[in-house]
Chains A and B, each alone.
Chain A
């Protein structure tokens, strides 16, 4: 029976579903089985109202930026050429999208099959994270229409940014391949789904190299500014810090995001083993705890190597200690506590704390401790904040749209699991 189904071309199968007695493909797959009127009505919710409100401000701001330029829409200056569109949208956006890379490594490389249910949501989060980070980047680039230039026109081979540009492009493609089986299940293209499922293994392996390379390269970006980044944050180990904290962020984000989606998309989780899910969440916390301890000691060695102990007793030193104590040592301890006492609630809140800490680290590196000695400081203009919130909102809406339609949180009933 399986075989005959496999032989049937996907397109024909799709057409067959358009018989008048069954709901049309569009109604079934786009409008979630409702009529257009019902579908619109079902979307009149408070959360959608908030999203609409945000976008009704953010989209005009995006247009404003394109029409009037960076000068009118940002607080950027010649001394502070990078603002939150780099510090938050790119640096935080990319590090928090490390879940796909971390889970992909655990699952495919280390063969941790028990994380099967974490893979697809993590990959989708990463894919959307990257796509929307690059979307936000377009507004920051002075000549956004030249985005492909480093790929096709002119090559700056000595630039770390060059490495990042190529790695972003390649990694987005790898993530698309990794995500595509879910898309083909939705489109009911069986042949494509089988073929791309195999290709996805290669894409994941390729993605491990690529993601590791550019996560560390984002830290290496600041290597060229030894005179501008505060010595407590500047270190030759910056690439290592960024890579290791990306792994921590990936693990924490998987915990945070899976906890949220399981709450929001409760209906899809009816046949789900929640005890098993909690157990796996705690063991992700175990990994994060180990990574945080390693990260802490590397920070310590970096500090000792540079001999910057005396700087700890300055205002920037207190801020540095705040970051390390509250967002590295504390979560490392709390994750370990969650493991020891089998406490999944602690693990979830600690993951959130860690995510906040990673965001703080990226903001510190790119904005707070950057140009610490400059005559003028940077504070974002309201339009910069609104555009950032708008892009995040778009990402969340895209995530929900896909999760509601494709087999992301569960195995598609018509397809045998490939995992």
Chain B
């Protein structure tokens, strides 16, 4: 596998260490409240459904694309769409029941503060970077698709039609763009309205609440993503309750990693505790084995082997 002995020992030590401490480095990085993190505020009241963000996303991420003109086709809004392997972001249309006007909602990875995909991945393919994006590394992915099970927003998609080297795909938050000074994600750059606002997450949370305060008739008093599953980098504002525009409002504030953390900890504790009675049981079973041999008057042919077994 191309890893040296030193690297192997290092990794083994990391495993042993984390088994004891019960917290991985990547999870520790995912603590909420890092003010250096970026986010995007999506104000759905401004979106006109031009879908240029979809075009720009495909363009930047080298996904199969069509001429920008064809994105003006409104017929795609007849169905509610989700993200797929070649489409990291989609815009859906809902109807405002108060005044029958359309509401357009952009959908993409929410870049959770404590990502479920990250905690689910058994080869550590996901990272929550310091700047905010949750990134995916296809070089170690085995393709178990547990990240897709764990994602509360149903975002990761899979290249099912790729027989040899399929990948999980999702929005990258254009981490390659935003890590450079002054650059914003491709979708934010192309957005012709005020819908998408890129900035420090903490600033955006304040901005969102300010908008609600200044315009309480316009918005529902809820910044989606501020607390959902432990908070997300992408935040939403809406004129109608979020469940009416395709958001899950029943997923709670508890982060996904925290649902499995307790189990992993308890398992380790139980397994360590269980070792001792079981070791005694094994010695007891072996001694009894010896006893029956002696009783039967047979020379216990395995004595030597047994001693050897004890040493190991």
Contact = CB atoms under 8 A, between A and B. Distances in A.
B143 A142 contact: yes
Contact of B289 (A2, A153, A375, A418): A418
Interface stretch (B187-195, B197-205, B210-218, B252-260): B252-260
Interface stretch (A122-130, A191-199, A295-303): A191-199
B140 A158 contact: no
B161 A69 contact: yes
A251 B279 CA distance: 24
A154 B165 CA distance: 18
Nearest to A147: B142
A155 B164 CA distance: 23
A154 B124 contact: yes
Contact of A69 (B152, B160, B298): B160
B9 interface: no
Interface stretch (B40-48, B54-62, B81-89): B81-89
Interface in A110-164: 111, 140-144, 146-147, 149-150, 152-164
A375 B160 CA distance: 19
A142 B250 contact: no
Nearest to A375: B80
B106 to A, nearest CB: 18
A176 to B, nearest CB: 16
A143 B161 contact: no
A417 to B, nearest CB: 9
Contacts of B251: 226-227
A150 B312 CA distance: 26
Nearest to B11: A155
B274 A70 contact: no
Interface stretch (B65-73, B97-105, B174-182, B280-288): B280-288
Given A78-B82, A78-B84, A157-B15, A69 B150 contact: no
B164 to A, nearest CB: 8
Interface in B101-128: 116, 118-125
Contact of A228 (B124, B145, B146, B149): B149
A66 B166 CA distance: 12
Nearest to A416: B298
Contacts of A141: 142-144
A375 B248 CA distance: 13
A225 B3 CA distance: 35
Interface in A153-188: 153-165
Nearest to B141: A143
Contacts of B141: 142-143, 146
B166 A70 contact: yes
Contacts of B116: 224
Contacts of B271: 209, 213
A391 interface: no
Contacts of A228: 149, 152
Contacts of A161: 120-122, 144, 146
Interface stretch (B219-227, B232-240, B299-307): B299-307
Contacts of A68: 163
Contacts of B267: 163, 213, 216-217, 220, 239
A205 interface: yes
| Dominant secondary structure at the A interface | helix
B146 A202 contact: no
Contacts of B288: 111
A202 B282 contact: yes
A108 interface: yes
A109 interface: yes
Interface residues of A, number: 74
Given A76-B160, A154-B125, A239 B263 contact: yes
A418 B119 CA distance: 46
The interface size bin for chain B is 35 or more
Nearest to A374: B154
Given A69-B166, A143-B165, A152-B1, A223 B286 contact: no
Contact of B142 (A143, A155, A224): A143
Interface string A91-117: 000000000000000001101000000
Contacts of A150: 122-123, 142
Nearest to A76: B160
Nearest to A150: B122
Interface string A334-375: 000000000000000000000000000000000000000011
A157 B27 CA distance: 9
B299 A224 contact: no
A3 B122 CA distance: 51
Contacts of B257: 158, 224
A210 B238 CA distance: 49
A142 B263 contact: no
A195 B305 contact: yes
B122 A220 contact: no
Contact of A109 (B119, B164, B250, B281): B281
B122 to A, nearest CB: 4
B116 to A, nearest CB: 6
Nearest to B167: A142
B294 interface: no
Contacts of B18: 157
B306 A198 contact: yes
B264 interface: yes
Interface of B: 1, 3, 11, 14-15, 18-19, 24, 26-27, 80, 82-85, 116, 118-125, 140-146, 148-150, 152, 154, 156-166, 248, 250-252, 254, 256-257, 259-261, 263-264, 267, 270-271, 274-275, 278-279, 281-282, 284-286, 288-289, 296, 298-299, 301-302, 305-306, 308-309, 312
Interface of A: 2-3, 6, 66-72, 74, 76-79, 81-82, 108-109, 111, 140-144, 146-147, 149-150, 152-165, 191, 194-195, 197-199, 201-202, 204-206, 208-209, 212-213, 216-217, 220-228, 239, 374-375, 416, 418
Given A78-B85, A217-B263, 16 more contacts: A70-B160, A78-B154, A81-B149, A109-B281, A147-B142, A150-B122, A155-B11, A157-B15, A161-B121, A161-B146, A162-B123, A197-B305, A198-B289, A212-B274, A226-B251, A374-B154
